[in-house]
């Protein structure tokens, strides 16, 4: 097939900023507290919100849904929807709130998004996605990007993928994050859709080859920096999801390795100490401590005392009046365990 060249960015549109590594938007995970925590580990990695529906942004508590700390930037708001006018409104709101970019979700396979006609089911409607993106781009100066799958149900050939990307890129959209699995909307749960469809990295590599003028980011099953380096030889950027949540301190290496930072990263202990004022700020406003500490449970993954850390946070963060003292006590227990652990070798 003949690939359509994209239109140039709209007048006033901010050019795509190249972030070689990002953390994927994850429902019930990448909230503002997780993002603030990760900023203590990596200053450079591009962060995303959880997906927020356009309807929620229109009718809901925007400060609650969209609020963030300045330390979280650079930060992308991910939205879900299929109404160009409403999504344009969301883009203006995102810019007003100070987000660096707005991203349209065309990859989530859950039943809830299917019933609302957004997420992965929109891959079957590339013209509608293009209309949505064009409306968002016309409404804002911040970049507009799309996160999508390589296909959906039986529309999973490479030709289907290139038709989707070419149609959307014709609006002037330049940034595409591609989850290298198709989505099965019938018969597979959202969880199964993250694992069962096979990864087809070669399709994403080929996409970058055929659309060299676009910023192509790859996502799906990436867990190590060695894998990241391999992908970056083929595409522009790598998005990491579950590994960023299950092994957050993995990102202590990223600023130096992929962004050229000269400063060293915080130790795990320093990360905890950096979180203490933040924790007290929120708990003094009535937030339950476990709303924050649930994101910190895997900080000491693979280290002596990691089980003690998880147990103490789990048992004590839910108690009435719990505050930063819980983290300090848990950290003291971890450091005591580490001091008593003989060095290997």
Catalytic residues: 108
Whether residue 161 contacts residue 207, with contact meaning beta carbons closer than 8 Å, is answered with yes
**Beta partners for 216?**
176
Whether residue 315 contacts residue 287, with contact meaning beta carbons closer than 8 Å, is answered with no
Residue 154 vs residues 151, 168, 183, 184, 197: alpha-carbon distances, Å: 8, 20, 9, 8, 12
Angstrom distance (rounded) from CA 247 to CA 225: 12
The enclosing H or E element of 311 equals helix 306-316
**Residue in this structure with the two tokens 């709209």, named with its chain if needed:** 10
Angstrom distance (rounded) from CA 250 to CA 264: 14
**CA trace torsion 136, 72, 30, 80 (10° rounding):** -10
Angstrom distance (rounded) from CA 340 to CA 345: 16
Residue 325 vs residues 175, 195, 322: alpha-carbon distances, Å: 43, 39, 7
Where b means 16+ CB within 10 Å and e means fewer, 211-249 reads beebbbbbbbbbeebeebeebbebbbbbbbbebbbebbb
**Residue in this structure with the two tokens 């992908």, named with its chain if needed:** 231
Angstrom distance (rounded) from CA 298 to CA 144: 32
């Amino acid at each position: 097939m003949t690939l359509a060249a994209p239109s140039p960015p709209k007048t006033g549109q901010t050019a795509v900023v190249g972030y070689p590594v990002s953390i994927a938007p994850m429902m019930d995970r990448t909230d503002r507290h997780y993002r603030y925590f990760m900023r203590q580990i990596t200053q450079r990695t591009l962060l995303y919100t959880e997906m927020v529906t356009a309807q929620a942004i229109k009718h809901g508590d925007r400060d609650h849904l969209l609020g963030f700390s300045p330390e979280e930037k650079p930060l992308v708001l991910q939205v879900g929807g299929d109404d160009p006018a409403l999504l344009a409104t969301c883009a203006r709101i995102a810019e007003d709130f100070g987000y660096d970019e707005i991203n349209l979700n065309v990859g989530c396979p859950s039943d809830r998004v299917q019933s609302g006609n957004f997420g992965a089911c929109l891959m079957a409607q590339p013209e509608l996605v293009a209309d949505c993106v064009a409306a968002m781009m016309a409404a804002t100066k911040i970049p507009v990007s799309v996160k999508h799958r390589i296909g959906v149900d039986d529309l999973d050939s490479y030709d289907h993928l290139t038709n989707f990307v070419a149609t959307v890129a014709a609006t002037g959209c330049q940034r595409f994050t591609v989850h290298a699995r198709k989505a099965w909307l019938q018969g597979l749960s959202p969880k199964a859709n993250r694992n069962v469809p096979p990864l087809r990295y070669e399709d994403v590599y080929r996409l970058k080859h055929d659309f060299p003028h676009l910023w192509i980011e790859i996502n799906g099953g990436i867990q190590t920096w060695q894998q990241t380096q391999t992908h970056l030889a083929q595409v522009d950027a790598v998005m990491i999801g579950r590994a960023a949540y299950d092994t957050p301190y993995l990102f202590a290496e990223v600023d130096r390795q992929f962004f050229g930072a000269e400063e060293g990263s915080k130790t795990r202990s320093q990360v905890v100490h950096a979180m203490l004022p933040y924790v007290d700020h929120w708990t003094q406003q009535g937030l339950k401590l476990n709303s924050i500490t649930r994101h910190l449970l895997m900080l000491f993954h693979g280290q002596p005392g990691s089980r003690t850390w998880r147990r103490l946070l789990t048992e004590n963060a839910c108690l009435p009046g719990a505050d930063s003292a819980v983290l300090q006590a848990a950290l003291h227990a971890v450091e005591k365990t580490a001091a008593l652990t003989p060095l290997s070798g």
